[in-house]
Amino acid sequence: MVKKTVFIDGEAGTTGLGIRERLLRVPGLALRSIAEDRRKDPGARREMMESVDLVVLCLPDAAAKESVALADSLGAKGPRIIDASTAHRVDPNWVYGFPEMAPGQAEKIAAATRVSNPGCYPTGAIGLLRPLVAAGAMATDFPVTINAVSGYSGGGKSMIGEHASSGGPAFELYGLGLEHKHVAETQSYSGLTRRPIFVPSVGHYAQGMIVSVPLHLDTLAPGTRGSDLHDILAGFYAGQRLVRVLPPTADAKLEPEALNDTDVLELRVYANENRRHAILVARLDNLGKGASGAAVQSIGLMLGLGETAIGSKEMAHG
């Protein structure tokens, strides 16, 4: 059996390490690397790209664009690419790597030569919003507000260093200039015509994420109840292995770390019918379904290994 080959460009970063750790367990797959002293050598990178089936880019946006240009220059000899940066997430020539996002999306990923890996925050937000927009329960111009908290591992080297070495703040709002780079993909793939307000935050813990969307039920389609929102989500994701629509927790509490080291996305609806209020909540590991796990799903589809064969991490939670 000829093994499929993968090169992770930027394998020393947080996302790259997570992808590598997952792929090392996959039979029928071989990981290729460039010697450390040649990683910035264009010739070495070109040779590597010509020799592998697929390249995963775990690089800053500018470097990712350079790598794509290099791959494009190879023509038919070039590899298929998954880009984990934000450089191509709303590019119409790239397929968005969220297999459960829409019917047929997994098949589009499987056939694609260029796949953009979703952001962690958008994965939760799109997972909650797109089914409601598609069902007509939420208008496309609905004024959406998204609140989210992540572990500091999602903030890159500087944030990780700040929290790991000096302690960092216990909790911090950021992106208050309202120009966060994840807003474009969130709006685009949720099906919204009105730009949502996104308020991200970081807590002093390593990984784990909660994304929440508060709603006045009376501003949705007439007569919409919290149970309707749950049913729409449950129907949309019926049969999906890694996206799970669950009932509200009994104590009306939710903490962000329960799905750490899994590739699962949990969705819930908390509603108070007397007040006509609801909160949509997504929970995920920002390093799992929010980063490395999502890339591994797409790798499995693109290389014909399938999601089960690729070995995405699962764990049961109540």
Q: According to DSSP H, which parts of 156-292 are helical?
A: 156-166, 183-190, 226-236
> What is the helix (H) or strand (E) element at residue 20, kind and residue range?
helix 14-23
Judge whether 58 counts as a catalytic residue.
no
Catalytic residue among 120, 192, 209, 220: 120
187-214: b or e for each residue (b if 16 or more CB lie within 10 Å)? Answer: bebbbbeeebebbbebbebbbbbbbbbe
Rounded to whole angstroms, the Cα distance separating 81 from 95 reads 11
Give how far the C-alpha of residue 224 lies from the chain's centroid of Cα atoms, to the nearest Å.
29
Distances in Å between the alpha carbon of 146 and those of 51, 150, 161, 220, 302?
A: 43, 13, 27, 16, 31
Distances in Å between the alpha carbon of 51 and those of 34, 54, 78, 90?
A: 12, 9, 9, 28
Which residues of 84-122 form beta strands (DSSP E)? 95-96, 114-116
Beta-carbon count within 10 A of 139 CB: 15
- Residue 184 near residue 87 (C-beta atoms within 8 A): no
- Quick one: tokens of 129? 């919003």
Cα atoms found within 13 Å of the Cα of residue 127, Cβ hemisphere only: 34
Distances in Å between the alpha carbon of 261 and those of 49, 128, 288?
A: 30, 21, 6
**Which three-class secondary structure state does DSSP give residue 269?**
strand
Catalytic residues: 120
